[in-house]
Every structure is written in C-alpha cells, then in structure tokens.
Amino acid sequence: MDCDIKTLPPEAVYPLLVGSVQPRPIAWVSTQDLLGVANLAPFSFFTVASVKPPVLALSILTPAGGGEKDTLANIRATGEFVVNVVPEHLAEAMNLSCGPYAPEVDEFDLAGVGKARSRQVRAPGVEQAPLRFECVLNQCLALGDGAGAGNLVLGEVRHVHVADEAWRDGRVASKALALVGKLGGDEFSRAEAAFSLRRPGA
Ligand SMILES: Cc1cc2nc3c(=O)[nH]c(=O)nc-3n(C[C@H](O)[C@H](O)[C@H](O)COP(=O)(O)O)c2cc1C
C-alpha cells in the first residue's frame, strides 16, 4: 500500500498513525484547575524530548467539538502538570479516567486512585503510580487548527518520585515497573521479557 496522506480523510489518518507508531508509552497526566479541582487523563502521544534540561513531550489533540481538553486548559492556566506512569495493575483505572467528563469531575475519585502530594507543583500525583514526574510548562506548540490538531506540550521535569520497589542499584528497575503501552484501536501491550543490543562503538 502506498498513499499520498493528503488524499486520506482524517478518520483514516488516525488509525493509520496510531496503528503504526506502537507500542507508545502512556503519560497519565494529572493537573488541577485554578479552583483546585483535580483532573486525570491518559496520553500516549508521549516521549522524552530533552535531557538537559530534562523535558517530556506530549501531544493533546483538539477534540471534535472544538475547545480544549481539560488537561490542556489546566496546563495553560497553571503552567504545571504531573506525568504518572502506568503499570499493568493500574491499566483499568487509567482507562476509566479517559472519558469525556465535565471539568468539575475529579477523575482521581472516578478511577479510584489516591492523590499524592507533589513537592514542586500544586497538582497532585497518583499515589499508586510507582514513578511520577512533576513538570512545569516550557512551551506549547499548536500544530494545526480544528479537530485532531495536536498541541505539543513540552514540560520541564522539576521533581521525580520513584517508589522504593522500582529503584534498584541506583537506577529505575524497569522489570519491576511492568508498564503498559498503547497499540492501535483498544489494544494495549504489556512489558514482556526484554532483550539487549549493544550499540556500535559503545
Ligand atoms: C491509552 C489512551 C491514550 C490516549 N492518548 C491520547 C493522546 O495522546 N492525545 C489525546 O489528545 N488524547 C488521548 N487520549 C484520549 C484522552 O485521554 C481523552 O480525550 C480524555 O478525555 C482527555 O481528558 P481531559 O479532557 O480531562 O483532559 C487517550 C486515551 C487513552 C485511553
């Protein structure tokens, strides 16, 4: 199959992209609004963007009805967010938090997870998440207009919390984290046995 992507309708572009770029890590992002109402939602358009300074990148799409998702509105309003990682035992709670709930709904309660006090931002983290990054907004880039347009959020990491059980010999124990990833459609991947490849010249 070959195609000029400009000839595809947007509803065909989405499954092509998310079915091809996978598995994607999941940022379970917690924020709060200016009144202190907490919000929690997952985003798999997510990666590391820089090490010095440490920056995480996630893209929040403009919804079909227009406007902004609550996460993006809160990040713009407060300049802060927390990225929580998602081990398999939290996958169902993470999925519950992705519904199109009204801004006044606190998805921590809905998903049945606790709030962990953050050290350097006001937004709480997910208590049960074994790893949390407290971030401040570096910049937000609008990649287009209207439904489906990405808003690339770059967040500088200010504080990292790693649970004791996920920290071994001075590094993150990825096996202990057992994080899930996002595939196309409704599918997720689980952490299977990893393998190593030595880089040329290393
Ligand atoms: C696993 C998973 C990954 C998702 N990834 C994204 C994403 O990368 N970008 C996006 O805009 N929405 C993504 N969504 C949908 C949002 O989570 C959903 O629109 C949510 O309602 C946004 O919540 P908010 O309005 O509280 O910010 C994803 C949903 C799931 C379940």
Domains for the chain: give ranges and CATH numbers: 5-189 (2.30.110.10)
Å from CA of 98 to ligand 1 middle: 6
**pLDDT value for 193:** 85
Residue 142's DSSP bridge partners are 151
- The answer, yes or no, to whether residue 10 has pLDDT greater than 90, is no
Give per-residue pLDDT as tens, 124-142: 999 999 999 999 999 999 9
Token digits for 42?
Answer: 């997952």
Mean pLDDT over each residue of the chain, to the nearest integer: 96
Q: pTM of the full predicted structure?
A: 0.98
Q: In terms of DSSP H, where are the helices of the chain?
A: 10-20, 70-78, 91-96, 107-111, 174-177
- Token representation of residue 176: 């202990």
Identify the band that residue 202 occupies on the pLDDT scale cut at 50, 70 and 90: confident
SS3 assignment, position 180 = coil
Is 24 close to ligand 1, i.e. is its CB under 6 Å away?
no
Find tokens 């124990």 and name the residue: 173
Asked if residues 148 and 62 have their Cβ atoms less than 8 Å apart, the reply is yes
More confident: 193 or 185: 185
Ligand 1 centroid – CA 2 distance (Å): 29
Q: Which atom of ligand 1 is closest in space to residue 100's alpha carbon?
A: 21
Mutate to test the pocket of ligand 1, among 98, 109, 143, 188 (most ligand atoms within 8 A of CB): 98
